Amino acid sequence: MNIKEFTKGLFKENPTFIIMLGMCPTLGVTTQVVNALGMGAAVIFVLTFSNILISALKKIIPDCVRIPCYIVVIACFVSIVEMVMHAYLPSVFNALGVYLPLVVVNCIILGRAEAFANKNSVGDSALDGLGMGLGFTMSLTLIALIREVIGAGTITLIPIGSFSGTITIPGLSANPVRVMSLAAGALLLMGLLKAFFQYLQNRKEAR
Amino acid sequence: MKTYIKVALILGSICAVSALLLAFVNQVTEPVIKALASQEEIAALSDVAAGMKIGAKEAVADSDLVKERYSLGNKEGWILKVETNGYGGPISLVASLLNDGSIIAAKVVSSSETPGLGKKSELPGYMDMFIGKGASSQIPTSKDMLSSEDSQAVSGASVTFTAISKALDSASAYVKSIGGR
């Protein structure tokens, strides 16, 4: 097992900002921080387990039907997450809506199965899944945080005890820049962040 | 030929194992999900009943959108369960109406609308723009019929708004068609 397989997903090969995979849910669910966290948790679970299983079955799965096999495995895990969330975390399930079943066709998961899990050991694949999932969650949370603060003037987290789950930012919540919570704002912000991370990378390489 | 059979067998067995696993998880979670749904429905009914007595559930067959009805209070009105289609799929809502077709209260029970946009229709306050409408004043079914403040609140989620307003409009029409009684 190589710990590098875990850390590469966080920054160096971050799925959202560097590999640019899984843009659809990234733009779709990042209207509130809590949605980003829920989506991230679902992706971490599905990605880790599908990577482990696909890596373990890599010698059995025939090359010509590998994609259908991957999709069946991934869809199975997504359905499990969906049913468990529906039963035990109904509020997160409701908030994620249509994006949860769409995890099946999330390119990160199929991409990692195809590019990593079917060539590497089970341990490395598990680390890769965890790292990529965590990197995806971090990017999603960052985008959601910026969009929610500017677009709605609030930060929505999970309600615990007396804490209602929503932090309101004075000033901004009365006059939010509403475009940020719409699809156009997501694209604008995504472009700006991508440019920023590209700048950081270029500067690092120039040194 | 042999390879084809082998490939088919492998893919088939992966599918079979997945199906078994899902059947097992479903067995565990289904009763919990069902209990949650009926709890939510009861909570939604008492939310819109405005303190009045809720009658027994009756199925409705002669309306496109209205699926179920409950008599309200001492024959003062009806609670209707309405199902419509929004942006992300079916929206199910309950609405209480007086016999003249005006809306007392309404609530979205379940929807698959976009979080942060159409999903806002589930927040308290969203239905305020419909309350009291339906008898002498018309239910707003397009954005032009809203005040500028309400129209801002639904911006970005016009499809959801249209679906909900049409659902409430047909609920109101249904109550009028049965003449209150």
Q: Where are the domains of chain B?
A: 46-177
Per-residue pLDDT at B181 exceeds 60: no
Cβ–Cβ of B119/A61 closer than 8 Å? no
Cβ–Cβ of A87/B32 closer than 8 Å? yes
Choose among A69, A84, A86: nearest Cβ to B11.
Answer: A69
* A50 in contact with chain B, both atoms CB, cutoff 8 A: no
- Is residue A126 in a domain? yes
Tens of pLDDT, residues B82-133: 888 888 888 888 888 888 888 888 888 877 777 667 777 877 778 888 888 8
- Structural domain of A65: 4-146
Q: How many domains does chain A have?
A: 1
Per-residue pLDDT at B180 exceeds 60: no
**Mean pLDDT score across all residues of chain B:** 84
- Is residue A29 in a domain? yes
Cβ–Cβ of A62/B116 closer than 8 Å? no
Better-predicted residue by pLDDT, B144 or A122: A122
What residue type is A48 in one-letter code? Answer: T
- Is residue A95 in a domain? yes
Q: What ipTM was reported for this prediction?
A: 0.76
Tens of pLDDT, residues A145-154: 999 898 888 8
Any residues with CB less than 8 A from the CB of A97 and at least 6 apart, and which? B88, B111, B112, B113, B114, B115, B119
- Is residue A152 in a domain? no
- Is residue A205 in a domain? no
Cβ–Cβ of A181/B114 closer than 8 Å? no
Tens of pLDDT, residues A123-180: 999 999 999 999 999 999 999 999 989 888 888 887 666 677 778 888 777 788 888 8
- Can you give the pTM of this predicted structure? 0.72
- Is residue A153 in a domain? no
Paired residues of B59 in beta bridges: B68
Alpha helices of A113-206 — where are they, by DSSP H?
A: 122-152, 183-206
- Is residue A60 in a domain? yes
Rounded Cα distance between A98 and A93, Å, is 9
- Is residue A30 in a domain? yes
